[in-house]
Amino acid sequence: MQYGFVKIAAAAPKIRVADTEYNAKEIVRLMNEAHENGAKIVVFPELCVTGYTCSDLFHQELLLAGARRALGEIVKASEGMDGLFFAGLPVEVEGKLYNAAAGFSGGKLLGLVPKTHIPNYSEFYERRHFTEAPEKTRLIRLPEWGEVPFGTDQIFVCEEFPALKVSAEICEDVWSPNPPSIRHAMNGATVIVNLSASDEITGKEAYRRDLVRMQSGHLVCGYIYASAGEGESSTDLVFGGHHLICENGSLLKESRRFHNETVYAQIDVERLMGERRRISTFHVSCDGDGYISTAFSIRPGEEKLERFVDKAPFVPGNQAEREKRCEEILTIQTMGLKKRMEHTNCKSAVIGISGGLDSTLALLVTVRAVDRMGLPRNCITAVTMPCFGTTDRTYTNACELTRRLGANLLEVDIKEAVKIHFRDIGQDMEKHDVTYENGQARERTQVLMDTANRLGGMVIGTGDMSELALGWATYNGDHMSMYGVNASVPKMLVRHLVRYYADTCGDGKLSEILLDILDTPVSPELLPPKDGVIAQKTEDLVGPYELHDFFLYYVLRFGFAPDKIYYLAQSAFKGEYENRVILKWLNTFYRRFFAQQFKRSCLPDGPKVGTVAVSPRGDLRMPSDASARLWLDMAEKLMEKDV
């Protein structure tokens, strides 16, 4: 359970209908297998102890007695195993028969959860045999077990990790209009298990998958769905053993149908808890609302991270999905700018064009916006402002890009203006310090603002979210604009948006220019070039943007601590960065992120395109003078430990 990761298993034994002794042995065999593989929660299908398809045999006392004996053997086998187990069987209580899930751990039966919604249509005639769950959950006395909780409203709580709270529902329950899992989640359950026997008919697989996945997203929970497979009677139905393990709307693992296999996945319970804290409409009952809570124990220990960690969480890995996402983001940016220009009756847009990625993306978005407004592209004025650090490559790309897109190009050489300014304030031209750099950035912003005033236009901001997170912007320089179209787009996503445009624009020459811009090192070009090439490379100074984007995602999206982010980064960037390098830039990220909030506190408006943003009016309301001590202390301890 290190850092909140819990390994889950969904298993389907190959049963023999009505052979409870055989079925018990198969279930125990799979329990042992799952235990050896490190699973802490193991879920078996509905009525797997007897078989779901026993039909009128459920009225036979001999079968019910066999189920009771089998349960005793299965529960006893869990003694010495480290985990919580669920298996389905028929249970008789006070003269009524219930389709129930038995929850057990450490050789003890912890509770019996009966099915709430009993189907009575087409192929399913469960009402012929089973009674719906009673309204109230209570303790019942069973000869073999003494007092045991019986009812739907139960939560099984891990003593060592109280955030791990597990509740159960059975098959039809999740297909109903009012699933018990809703109530479970609203009473604190972070993991829902579903013991199912869902038959296979054409088209049902996709619906089942979407149903379970969306239920996990709806409830912000982990959801384990274990369905009956081969071994059930084929008199009228065929069962495929379709297992699903989902987390907050994402499918983590899915079994092959028509194969009785066990599937495993790790659910991040800390991530679920962080998400629930963030969502103000997710309310958890504090009074328990009639629930019975039962403790179970899992031995804590360091576990290997087995789930995939994407090193580029802002960028979809699948090409088709990535292209779809890029088009959607470009459209959101475009529509935001279009609305602002229309609202201000703006007929002109002014952009500082540098030949770099960010200004390129801003220009592409502006072109799309004026096209939608029915304005000529020459209403866009792209201003190139060569100074001490400008190279021929970036200058040429800026000019060629502007001309190719049909925008108006304005060149303003700011060298003399900056020299005069430096003379006025007493800045030594040979002293290449922060004043030397920021003086150029602020002069460029002044040129843009005044040009926009002269043209009756609007300055379009070019800075991206990664730069804003690190404070890699000159206060009241490139930090300022009238509308920042890239303000919520991280640097690594900027690259994909520009590449997508290059791949889909249908203009060979434009594509060639964009690809060369993509190949140009990221730089503010504020220091003189060396031998005609860029001397000031941003990533040499603040660190690789792919690392910072990774850190930013987990800091803002889930509120993870430095140790967990480092743990994830080790997996995501294995073989690419040494641990000490990751830690170095993680420390830099926290130091800069906290120190530079004052720049983000007064950002211009800009469209939000994803779940992570740094707008002071929306997603990141953070004091400008907050201390980074807690985060830096942990990061420093990690560095000491690694050494």
Which structure tokens are listed for 26? 């198969």
- Let me know: does 502 contact 518? Beta carbons within 8 Å: yes
115 is catalytic: yes
Segments of 29-76 assigned E as strands: 41-43
User: Would you call 305 helix, strand, or coil by DSSP?
Assistant: coil
Backbone angles phi, psi at 459, to 5 degrees: -85, 125
Q: Exactly one of 54, 171, 346, 379 is catalytic; name it.
A: 171
**Spatial CA neighbour of 74 closest among 50, 98, 38:** 50
β pairing state of 349-352 and 250-254: unpaired
Q: Which amino acid is at 51?
A: G
Dist CA 341 CA 346 (whole Å): 5
How many CB atoms are located within 10 Å of the residue 625 CB? 9
Count the neighbouring beta carbons within 10 Å of the beta carbon of residue 424: 8
Neighbours of 207 (CB within 10 A): 10
Task: Find residue 162's DSSP bridge partners.
Answer: none
Give the Å distances, CA to CA, from 55 to 34, 198, 201, 247, 504. Answer: 30, 15, 20, 34, 59
Between CA 390 and CA 396, with CA 391 as vertex, the angle to 5 degrees is: 105
Kind of pairing between the strands at 165-170 and 349-352: unpaired
Nearest to 180 by CA among 41, 45, 290: 290
Residue from 115, 165, 311, 564 carrying the catalytic annotation? 115
537 catalytically annotated:
no
The answer to whether 46 is a known catalytic residue is yes
3-state SS track over 356-383: CHHHHHHHHHHHHHHHHHCCCHHHEEEE
Which one is catalytic: 7, 26, 40, 46?
Answer: 46
Q: Smallest Cα–Cα separation from 108: which of 147, 140, 154?
A: 147
User: Annotated catalytic sites, by residue?
Assistant: 46, 115, 171
